[in-house]
A and B are shown apart, each in its own frame.
Chain A
Amino acid sequence: MFDSSSIIVGLEVGTSKICAVVGEMTDSGLNIVGLGQAKSRGVRKGEICDAPAVEEDIRNAIVEAEQMADVEIRSVYLGVTGGHVRGFNNRGVHPVVSADREISEDDVQDVIKNAKTINLPAGNHVIHAIRQHFLVDGQDGISNPVGMLGSRVEVDVHVVHGNLNRLQNAIRTVKGLQLEVDEIVFNGLASSLALLTTEQKELGALVIDIGGGTTEYTVYSDGVIKHASVLAIGGDHVSNDLAYGLKVPLGRAEQLKLEHGSSFLDGLKEKSATIANEVGLPIKTVNLEHLRRIMSLRLEEIFQLIGQDLEQAGLLDYLRSGVFICGGGARIPDIARLAEQVLQMPVSIGKTNSISGLKSALDQPEFATAIGLVKFGSFQHKKRAGKASLRDGIKTTIGQLFKRA
């Protein structure tokens, strides 16, 4: 019998595109077997504002992915983002009460639970509580305390949280399409999973995902997530700035951005570009210097804001393997050079090289998030497979049989 549970689907509902990536868990590892995408019409700044349109777009993307991978998609790992998503570090404490002072698995579960109970604004939901380090009796830097002796165990976690209602909006839309949501994953976390190797995580790295409506950034250091946040600025803002500054319609501005956009003013071959209508008659001439200045200022600002935030968090000095840019924004010519200039550290365009599979999907920086979602799913899958006893396994299999019917 074909084991459907080895199929993992990542669905990213982005501001500019909706993208579904199908991955297959094999004995040799994770393999990307399908990809579907559709232009997004009902999303602003990473959040759904027109549910019916989004529903239709998701359906198109899923159908395309199903056809390509030749599978039936039943459940997805859904990527979430938006200006409301925030991350912060928290510490949980738990006393070890057993007689022999040995830290058990239960103690670890308890301390993580304690770390998750935080004072969040009403209506906020914890998306992730990612464990960083354990401390046993004040001894720092322990990655797994199970079996150690101690009287008190502490854990540092990075908590990513967001507004529950807004997160629910995305989940509901997906569920409206008869799709199950396995889990929701913060987009910034997903992209970093796709891009970074273990070595890079150890050294310390910053992943910047410049999307259509939002820019997510995640900092890894010592192999764990130290900081994750969202800026509700993205490619849409660049287009909007251009439309305003050059006095052209938004669609035209988008087109100009793709054709003539750059992060820097230098290297201009022509002074101006002419916009022609359908029959080739010129309508308007646009000063390319202005275009690039508007664009470069906006992009520079994005990096400056990220830089300021990381400086405040005291993380700028821990990024020894540098900065990786992904998302549609990575396509902007010379974006790495601009980021290098602003952040004063090596910057490169991120490549998803930790997974095998479709070359066409892996090469594109804008699919990093969706691929990362699949990777996140594969971790969960492994975890579940390891945990599930025989009885549970039978139960879920039967359950799934019923679900299918």
Chain B
Amino acid sequence: MDDSTPAVSVKIFGVGTAGINILEQIAKAALPAVTLAAINTDAKSLATSSATEKIALEAKPTRGAGPSGDPKRSRAVAEENLPRLKQACEGVDVIFILAGLGGGAGTGISPVLAQAARESGALVLAFVAMPFDLEGNRRLKQAQQGLEQLKNTADGVICLPNQEILKLIDEKTSVVETFGILNGLLAEGVSGVWRLMARKGLIEIHYTDLCALLRERRGDSSFATAEAAGATRSREVMDKLFAHPMLDGGKTLAESDAVLVSLTGGPDLTMTEVHRVMEHINSKCERAQVIMGAAIDEAFRERLAITLIAVRRGVVHVEKSELPEEEQSPAEARATSSDNLTNHLLNQENGARPNSRFVPPAPEMPQAKMEQLAARQTRSRKTASKMRQGQLPLEIISKGRFDKSEPTIHKGEDLDVPTYIRRGVALN
């Protein structure tokens, strides 16, 4: 296989207006052997896109108003077009979903797309942007719900809170520029991850490694990329990396439990440089499993690029949000699930993608029953908190007259505490 041809097929979906904008940025980078696809409910924004594949999800005529701005409706539309989405995902190993959450299309369609892609056997990585705080509560809430859904369906979600960008920009940065930076960051992330898989490495990170890393955890991830050139590039690149807003000064690394590092350099990349960079990263990762890869690219001569993905173990947020699944009418749910099933079976028969994973939908039940269940749940939780037994404070052994004096510590034992207590001798 040629060096530049990736071993895996990659497709990048831009979902919604924001997603398509990011896609444009990636298109500029012109990653080889990558298919770009744009999905939106708004035909106008699709028309401006340079993506090779364009999927326009037609909304039912709802008295003239499009589904834009309402994720539930977008979701419904996407679910109706599930076969089309699945078709688009067919035969691809890795799918990137780019979206800006908080709006209609991105928030609504992305989870459905992720599910479709997973069912067709691809590894799904979502790069999403969270709205600015100033965009209002409603959008933030929608975005959070969308993120939760996406986390449940996609293998990995890399989320960039736009708010963090404010740290990067100065007083004079225009709105257009700000969004440009945002898109640039996400695009960088995507190309970084792509490089990780596509480039033939000295120390390779296998596609399977990445899958294992992300699938096992299904948590939220952070990524950071940095690039530097020149003699002091290894030092510079570390400085830049830790200045990245996503890493929060290295705090993210300390919290994460798996870190994937990919270094890309020219043929002049030295072992010392790799060592120095890895040592630095390892020292920041307290309990994380660090997987590293290094790749050589002729285009990176005298440059050093680093891509870092930090994964936190997925804490399943059971936020009491009205998940659209629950809101679906039972009939609809049945329709989609049977659809899924047939597709799944068909796929199996074809034997095209044996590693297809089927995500079973929630058990169906009438609305009334569900409400009842939910109500019971909340009630029982409330009573539980009320009935909770009070806990006495931990017994602290008074040191009597030595209370205020310097403790006599010998091999971690406070010798001022009576010996019989330390040795656990009972006085009956």
Residues of chain A having any CB pair with chain B under 8 Å = 44-45, 49, 83, 231-233, 236-237, 240-241, 243-245, 250, 287, 290, 293-294, 297-298, 300-301, 305
Contact = CB atoms under 8 A, between A and B. Distances in A.
Given A44-B401, A236-B401, A241 B419 contact: yes
B401 A233 contact: no
A293 to B, nearest CB: 7
A164 B420 CA distance: 35
Interface string B397-423: 111111001101010000110111101
A163 to B, nearest CB: 11
Given A244-B397, A244-B398, A294 B415 contact: no
Interface of B is mostly: loop
B427 interface: yes
A361 B229 CA distance: 84
7 contacts: A44-B405, A83-B408, A237-B402, A240-B399, A294-B418, A298-B420, A300-B419
Interface of A is mostly: helix
A300 B401 CA distance: 21
Contacts of B421: 244-245
A398 to B, nearest CB: 45
Nearest to A84: B406
A293 B410 contact: no
Nearest to A242: B418
Contact of B418 (A236, A240, A305): A240
A233 B420 contact: no
A241 B418 contact: yes
Contact of A233 (B399, B400, B406, B408): B408
Contacts, number: 65
B427 A290 contact: yes
Contacts of A294: 418-420, 427
A287 B415 CA distance: 24
B408 A243 contact: no
Contact of B408 (A49, A232, A297, A300): A232
A293 B416 contact: no
A-B complex: 3 closest residue pairs judged by Cβ atoms: A241-B418, A232-B408, A240-B400
B425 interface: yes
Nearest to A297: B419
Contacts of A298: 418-420
A301 B416 CA distance: 12
Given A233-B415, A240-B399, A243-B400, A297 B423 contact: yes
Contact of A83 (B397, B406, B418, B423): B406
A250 B401 CA distance: 8
> For B401, B405, B420, which residue has the most chain A Cβ atoms within 10 angstroms?
B420
B417 to A, nearest CB: 9
